[in-house]
Structure 1
Amino acid sequence: MSEMQDYKSSLTDVSSRKFETFSYLPEMDAAQIRKQVEYIVSRGWNPAIEHTEPENAFDHYWYMWKLPMFGETDVDRILAEAEACHKAHPNNHVRLVGYDNFKQSQGAAMVIFRGPIKV
């Protein structure tokens, strides 16, 4: 059995903080983010965009960017909304959420834009 790796993440070290599953992997490029949006759409999940200040990402609710995109299947439109949120809030983290309305939970959630970290 291989050794489990401990990711040094703490509340006191802002630059070490991890968000959602994909933050433990290298940052996704535009093509990889697109594939995640395609997956969310293929599952029939409702995409939503959220954002928050990096320093509040752990102890506050994230702000919703507009309403969830109920029934939206146009990947380009979803990506355009994520870009618009990032452009409007360049200092915030922006995450993409896929809501599974059958299980009434998040089926996917990932930070797709990171705001600058203030140490």
Structure 2
Amino acid sequence: MSEVMDYKSRVSDPASRKFETFSYLPAMTTDEIRKQVAYIVRKGLNPAVEHTEPQYLMDSYWYMWKLPMFGETDVDKILAECEACHKSNPGNHVRLIGYNNFTQSQDASMVIYRGKTV
């Protein structure tokens, strides 16, 4: 069995905190983010944009940016909403959620923009 790596993510060190699975990987390029948004659309999930201040990253409550985009299939419109949220809240983390109508759950969640950590 291979060694399991311990990521030095600690609550006391905001710069070390991880968000979700993707945050352990190198930052995604614009093209890779676009592909993830296309995947959300292809799976029939409803996209929604949320944001929060970096110091509240570990809280379960994130602010909703407008209403979820029920039925939206245009990747460019979804990315435009993510960017609009980021421009209105430049210091905040912005994430994209993919809601599943049938299971009433989040099937996808990824941080698109990272706010400045303290």
Q: Same fold (TM over 0.5)?
A: yes
Deviation per CA, 1:17-61, whole angstroms, max 9, x where unpaired?
A: 000110010111110100000000000000000000000111251
Equivalent residue number for residue 63 of structure 1: 63
Equivalent residue number for residue 37 of structure 1: 37
> How many residue pairs align between the two structures?
118
**Structure 1: stretches of 5+ with no match in the other structure:** none
What displacement does 1:86 show? 0.4
Equivalent residue number for residue 94 of structure 1: 94
CA distance in 2, matches of 1:85, 1:19: 18
CA distance in 1, matches of 2:3, 2:100: 34
The TM-score with structure 2 as length reference comes to 0.97
Mapping 1:73-112, distance limit 5 Å: 73-112=73-112
Sequence identity (%)? 69
- Pair 1:48 & 2:48 matched: yes
CA distance in 2, matches of 1:117, 1:80: 24
**Structure 2: stretches of 5+ with no match in the other structure:** none
CA distance in 1, matches of 2:92, 2:60: 13
Equivalent residue number for residue 8 of structure 1: 8
Deviation per CA, 1:80-104, whole angstroms, max 9, x where unpaired?
A: 0000000000000000100111111
Runs of 4+ displaced beyond 2 Å: none
The TM-score with structure 1 as length reference comes to 0.96
Residue type of the alignment partner of 1:50: E
RMSD between aligned alpha carbons? 0.8
CA distance in 1, matches of 2:84, 2:24: 25
